[in-house]
Structure 1
Amino acid sequence: MQFSAVQRILGVLLMLFSLTMLPPVLVSLWYGDGAVSAFMIAFVLLLMIGAVSWILVKDQKRELRLRDGFMVVVLFWSVLGLAGSLPFTLAEHPHLSLTDSVFESISGLTTTGATVIVGLDDLPRSILYYRQQLQWLGGMGIIVLAVAVLPMLGIGGMQLYRAETPGPMKDSKLTPRITETAKALWFIYLSLTLACALAYWVAGMSLFDAIGHAFSTIAIGGFSTHDASMGYFDSTLIEVIAVVFLLISGANFALHFIAFRRRSPGVYLQDSEFRFYLTILVLVSLVVSISLYAMGAYGNWNEAFTKGIFQAVSIGTTAGFTTADYSVWPGFIAIVLLFSSFIGGCAGSTGGGIKVIRSLLLIKQGLREITRLIHPSAQIPIRVGEKTISRRVVEAVWGFFALYVASFTFMYLGLAMTGLDLMTSFSAVAASINNLGPGLASVGTNYASINDSAKWILCFAMLLGRLEIFTLLVLLTPAYWRK
C-alpha cells in the first residue's frame, strides 16, 4: 500500500472540496442570513488540512495501483462526510451535534436524502443551498469529477474510475481516455441540471427553489428546501417535470452519451436494462395508483393516479421526494414502494439500490437454474439483449447479492439492538443502504428521533450502498492487506 501516494491524493481532493464552501458564502451574503462565518471557517480549515497533507508528500510521484484506488475512494468518502459536516456544526441555526452533522453530510453526499433537520422552511438560505449542493456533488461521485482534473496535476485516474464507477461492468469506458470519459459524464450531468432548473423555474418555482431541486433531482437525492418536499408546491406540472427528470437520471448515463453521440433516441429502447427499468416503474405505478383508489386513500381516481405515479417513480428511482406521507398509506402500498427501492436505478446512473441490471441478471440466472432442473445437461447461456453474459459477471452479481443480504441483516439486527422497533429498523436500513431517504414508522418523515448509535450504523449503511458493497468491504478482508 502506497500510503504517501494516497495521502497526496486526499490532500488535493480536500483542497478542491474546500472550494465548495464558497458558493454558500455568496448565497449567505446575498440573502444576509448570517451564516457566512460557518462556511468561511470550514473553507479555511479544509484548505489548510488539505494543503498540509499534500505538501508533506508532494514529491511522491508514484502511479496509483488499483488497490490504492479502493483506499482513496473509501477514505475520501469517509473523510468527505466528516469535512462536509463542518458548516452544520459551526452554524448557529441549525446548530447540530457531531452525530447529526455527520449524518446530514453523509446523507447528502451519498444522495440518500435522509435528514435529521426539522423546520427546513425556517433555515438560512445558505444552509438550504449547501444541502442541495452536497447532493449534486455526490450524484455522479466527486471522485469522477476529480479524475477529470487530477491528470492535469500529474496524477493518474484510471484506478479511481474503476473503483468508483457503479454497476457490474466496471471496465467499460465511453471514450478511450478516462479524462475524456469523466468530462463527458459531467457535461451530460450539468446539461441535465440546467435543463431541469429551467423547467422548474418556468413551472412556477422561485429561482432559488428551482436550482436547489434541480440539484437533488438530477442527483436522485431527495433533499428539499421545504419540510413538505415537492408537496409544498402543490403543482401537477412540477410533479410531471420531476418524474421526467428522475426517469432520465435513473437511466445509465452511458446510454445518454451514446444517444447524444449518435443523435438517436432509439438507443434507449434497444437497451434491455432500460426496458426492464421502465417496465418495473410502470407496473409499480399502476399497482400503487389502483391500490390507493381501491383502498379509499383518495376519493377520486385523478388524485390517486398522480400521487401514485409520483411516489412510485420517486421511491423506485431512490430519490425520496414526496408529495404525501407514504408511510401512513395502507401497509401493502408502503411495502411495495419500499421494496421497489431495492431494485433502484440503472447501473451507471445516479440512483441507488441493487441496480436494475443486477436484478435482471439475478432473475435470468434463477430461471436458468429452474430450466436446468428439467434439462440437467442443457447448456443455457444468460443473455442481456444480444450479448451473452460471462460466467465471471454472473458470479460477481451473486457475490454482490450475498454480501448485500448479509450486510443488510447485520445492520438490521444492530438497529434493533439499539432499541428501535422492527419496522423502523428494517425500513431505516433499507432506505439507507438503497440511498432512498424516507423510511416507515419512526423514520417516515425524518430521522431526528432515533438514537445516535442507530445514526452511526445508518451512516455506514449509506456509505456501503453508495460504494456498492464491494468497494468498502474489500478493505475489511485480510487478502487486501497482504503484500
Structure 2
Amino acid sequence: MQYKNIIRILGLLVAILSVTMLPPAFISLIYRDGGGVSFLMSFVFCLIAGLFAWYPNRDEKSDLRAREGFLIVVLFWTVLASFSAVPLMLLEQPNLTVADAFFESFSGLTTTGATILTKIDGLPHAVLWYRQQLQWLGGMGIIVLAVAVLPMLGVGGMQLYRAETPGPVKDSKMTPRIADTAKHLWFIYLSLTVACSISYWLAGMNLFDAICHAFSTIAIGGFSTHDLSMGYFDSPLINFVCVLFLLISGVNFALHFAVVHSKSLRAYFYDPEFKAFLYIQLALTLLCFTVLMSAGIYESGFEAFDQALFQSVSISTTAGFATTSFSEWPTLLPILLIFSSFIGGCAGSTGGGMKVVRVVLLYLQGLRELNKLVHPKAIFTIKLGNKALPNRVVEAIWGFFSAYAAVFVLCMLALLAAGVDDITAFTAVAACLNNLGPGLGEVAANFANLGDSSKWVLILAMLFGRLEIFTLLVLFTPAFWRS
C-alpha cells in the first residue's frame, strides 16, 4: 500500500478544500451578520494542515492501483467532511457540539440533507451559503473534480473514478481520457447550476436564495436557507422549477453528455433506466394525488396536484425538500415515499438510494426465476434494453442488495439500542443511508433531538450510502489489506 502517496494526495486535496472556506468569508463581508472570522481561521488551519501532509511526501508519485483508489475515496470523504466541520465548530452562531458539527458537515458533503439546525432563517448568511456550497461540492463527488487535476500532478485517475462513480457498471468512460470525462461531467453540472439559479431568480427568489437553492437542487441535497424549506416561498412556479431540475439531476449524467454530444434527445428515449425513472415518478405522483383528493386535505385539485408532484419527486429522488409536512398526510403516503427513496435516482446521477437500474435488474431477475419454475430447461437472459447482461453483473446486483439490507438492519438496531423509537429509527436510517434527509417521528423536521451516539451511527450510514456500500465495506475485508 502506497501510504506516503496517499497522504500526499489527501494533503493536497485538504489544501484545495481550504479555498472553499473563502466564499463564505466574502459573503459575511457583504451581509455583515457574522461568521467571517471562523471561516478565515478555518481556511488557514486547513491550508496549513494540507501543506503539512503534502510537503514531506511531495515526491512520492506513482500510479495508483485499485486498492489505493478505494482507500483514497473513503479517506477523502471522511477526512474532507471532518475538515469541513472545523468552521462549524468555531462559529458562535450556531453554537454546535462536535457531534452536531460533524453531522451537519457529513450530511452536507454526502448530499444527505439531514440537519440538526433549528431557526435556520436567523443564521448568518455565511453559514447558509457554506451549507449549500457543501452540498454542491459533494453532489457530483469532489473526487471527480480532483480526477481532472490529479493526472497533471502525476497521479492516475481511473482508479479513483471507478471507486467514486455511482452505479453498477463502472468500467465505461464517456471520453477516452478520464480527465476529459471529469471535465465534461463538471461542465454539465455547472451549466445546470447556472440555469437553475437563473430559473429560481426569474420565478421570484432573491439572488442569494436562488443560487443557494440551485446548489442543493442540482446536488439533490435538500438543504435550504429557510426553516420551511421550499414552503417558505409558497409559489407553485418555484415548486415546478425545483421539480424540473430535480428530474434532470436524477438522470444519469453520462446520458446528458450523450444527448449534448449527439445534439439529439433520442438518447433519452432509448435508455431503459430513464424510461423506468419517469414511470416511477409518474406513478408516485398520480397515487399521491389520488389519495390527497380522496382525503380532501386540499381545497383545490391544482393545490393537491402541486403538493403531490413536488413531494413525490423530492422524496423519491432523495432531495428531501419540503413544501408541507408530508408526515401529516394519510399514513400510506409518508411510508410509500420513504420506501420510494430506496430506489432513488438513476445510476450516474446526483441522487441517492440503490439506483433505478439496480431495482429494474432485480425485477428482471425475479421474472427470470419465475419463468425458470415454469420452464426448468429453458435458458433465459436478462436484457437491459437490447443488450444482454452477463451473469456477473446480475450477481453483483444481488450482492449489493444483500449488503445494503445488512447495513440498514445493523444501523437500525444500533439506533434502537440507543433508545430511539422504532418509527424514528427506521426512517432515520432510511433517510441517511439513502441520502434523503427528512424522516418520520422525531426526525420529521430535524435530527437535533437524537443523542450523540445515534448521530455517529447515522454519519456512518451517510458514508455507506454515498459510497454505495461496497467502496466502504471492502475496507473491512482481510483480503484488502494483504500485500
Partner of residue 87, structure 1: 87
Cα RMSD after superposing both structures: 0.7
1:154 corresponding residue in structure 2:
154
Which amino acid letter does the alignment assign opposite residue 298 of structure 1? Y
User: What residue number does 2:316 align with?
Assistant: 316
Distance 1:435 1:255 in 2: 22
Q: CA deviation at 1:272?
A: 0.1
CA deviation digits over 1:183-213, x for unaligned, max 9?
0000000000000000000111000000000
1:260-299 alignment, distance < 5 Å: 260-299=260-299
Q: What are the superposed Cα offsets for residues 44-89 of structure 1, whole Å, 9 maximum, x if unpaired?
A: 1110111010112111112111100100000110111111111111
Corresponding residue for residue 465 of structure 1: 465
2:246 touches 2:314 (CA, 8 Å); kept in 1?
yes
* Distance apart, 1:152 and its partner CA: 1.6
Say whether residues 1:24 and 2:17 are aligned partners.
no
CA distance, structure 1, for counterparts of residue 295 and residue 326 of structure 2: 14
Q: Give the distance between the partners of 2:470 and 2:205, measured in 1 at CA.
A: 40
Equivalence for 2:106: 106
Counterpart of 1:222, as a letter, is: G
Q: CA deviation at 1:299?
A: 2.9
Shift of 1:226: 0.2
d(CA) in 1 for partners of 2:61, 2:344 = 40
The answer on whether the counterparts of 2:73 and 2:143 sit within 8 Å (CA) in structure 1 is yes
Return the letter of the residue paired with 2:132: Q
Distance 1:463 1:173 in 2: 25
- 2:241 maps to 241
Query: 1:27-426, aligned counterparts within 5 Å?
Result: 27-426=27-426
Paired amino acid for 1:50: G
> Which AA in structure 2 matches 1:35?
G
Unaligned runs of 5+ in 1: none
Structure 1 counterpart of 2:189, which letter? Y
Tell me the distance in 2 between the aligned counterparts of 1:252 and 1:62: 32
Provide the secondary structure at the position in 1 that maps to 2:464. helix
Are the equivalent residues in 1 in contact too, given 2:104–2:115 (CA < 8 A)? yes
Amino-acid identity (%): 59
How many angstroms apart in 2 are the aligned matches of 1:119 and 1:85?
Answer: 19
State how far apart, in whole Å, the 2-side matches of 1:62 and 1:443 are. 46
- Summarize deviations over 1:115-158 as a string: whole Å, max 9, x none: 00000100000000000000000000000000011112222111
Matches within 5 A, 1:423-442: 423-442=423-442
For residues 295 and 433 of structure 1, the distance between their equivalents in structure 2, rounded to whole angstroms, comes to: 31
Report what 1:10 is aligned to.
Answer: 10
Deviation at 1:300, TM superposition (A): 2.5
Aligned-pair distance for 1:296?
2.4
Compute the displacement of 1:303 (Å).
1.4
What is the alpha-carbon distance in structure 2 between the residues aligned to residue 414 and residue 75 of structure 1?
24
**CA offset digits 1:433-480 (Å, max 9, x no partner):** 000000001100100111111100000000000000000000001111
Q: 1-side partners of 2:241 and 2:42: how far apart?
A: 35
- SS at 1:168's partner residue? coil
Q: Partners in 1 of 2:416 and 2:132 — Cα distance?
A: 31
SS in 2 for 1:176: coil
TM-score (structure 1 length as normaliser): 0.99
Once residues 189 and 366 of structure 2 are traced to their aligned partners in structure 1, the CA distance between those partners, rounded to angstroms, is 35
Secondary structure in 2 matching 1:343: coil
Partners in 1 of 2:265 and 2:246 — Cα distance?
A: 17
SS in 1 for 2:20: helix
Partners of 1:171 and 1:11 lie apart in 2 by 28
In structure 2, stretches of 5+ residues that fail to align are: none
CA distance in 1, matches of 2:234, 2:298: 16
1:304 to partner: Cα distance: 1.2
Instruction: Give the Cα separation in 2 of the matches to 1:390 and 1:23.
Output: 47
Whole-angstrom distance in 2 between the partners of 1:174 and 1:81: 29
In the alignment, is the contact (CA less than 8 A) between 2:239 and 2:310 conserved in 1? yes
Shift of 1:297: 2.2
Offset, 1:328: 1.6
d(CA) in 1 for partners of 2:391, 2:428: 34
SS across alignment from 1:342: coil
Provide the rounded CA distance (Å) in 2 between the counterparts of 1:6 and 1:407.
27
Structure 1 CA distance for aligned equivalents of residues 150 and 96 of structure 2? 34
* Residue identity opposite 1:283 in structure 2: A
The residue identity in structure 2 corresponding to 1:88 is L
Q: For residues 23-46 of structure 1, what are the alpha-carbon distances to aligned partners after superposition, in whole Å with 9 as ceiling and x for unaligned? A: 111101111122111001110111
Given that residues 62 and 154 in structure 2 are in contact (C-alpha distance below 8 angstroms), is that contact kept between their aligned partners in structure 1? no
Q: Which amino acid aligns with 1:76?
A: F
* Rounded Cα–Cα distance in structure 2 between residues aligned with 1:35 and 1:222: 22
For the residues of structure 1 that align with 2:149 and 2:22, how far apart are their CA atoms? 19
Say which SS state the counterpart of residue 372 (structure 2) adopts.
Answer: helix
TM-score of the superposition, structure 2-length normalised? 0.99
**Which residue identity lines up with residue 316 of structure 1 in the other structure?**
S
SS at match of 2:342: helix
Q: State the secondary structure of the residue aligned to 2:21.
A: helix
